[in-house]
A = this chain, B = another copy of it.
């Protein structure tokens, strides 16, 4: 697992209003045609707002467990196979307390992803997303 973070997704209750807040601070969305999610390019990192219920369902966890304020970090891989490799790496050090929440599966947006929780319950998605370009250093560029 390279030392980098691809996305931060904040769980939100009301996507339109939460999006309006970041826009009111002067931020501009990418991928405005995407429905049900708001993406913002932040340097080599992508920042996303997504209804918490959807995020919890995607991770296969109870939306009550983390409640309002839930979020996920994401590590995007360069290949589909690397998703399994990274989750295996996490499983190898599970003695420390990390937990595979959801083994990698095909996902509705055309990629392949799984989730783990670190020792404090922080959610990480490990995802292969062929639509989000990664440069050599791992910086993410959202599509138009």
The residue from B8, B21, B121, B138 contacting A5, defined by CB atoms under 8 A apart:
B8
Q: Which of A5, A25, A44 has the most CB of B within 10 A?
A: A25
Is B3 in contact with A120, judged by CB distance below 8 angstroms? Answer: no
Is B121 in contact with A68, judged by CB distance below 8 angstroms? Answer: yes
Q: Which of A73, A97, A119, A120 has the most CB of B within 10 A?
A: A120
Nearest B residue (CB) for A24: B93
The residue from B20, B24, B96, B137 contacting A24, defined by CB atoms under 8 A apart:
B96
The residue from B44, B69, B73, B98 contacting A120, defined by CB atoms under 8 A apart:
B69
Residues of B within 8 A of A4 (CB): 42-43
Interface residue tally of chain A, by bracket?
35 or more
A118 at the interface (CB under 8 A from B): yes
Q: From residue 55 to 84 of chain A, which have CB atoms closer than 8 A to chain B?
A: 66, 68-71, 73
A104 at the interface (CB under 8 A from B): no
Q: Please report A residues at the B interface, Cβ cutoff 8 Å.
A: 1-5, 8, 10-14, 17-18, 20-22, 24-28, 40-45, 47, 52, 66, 68-71, 73, 89-90, 93, 96-98, 118-122, 137-139
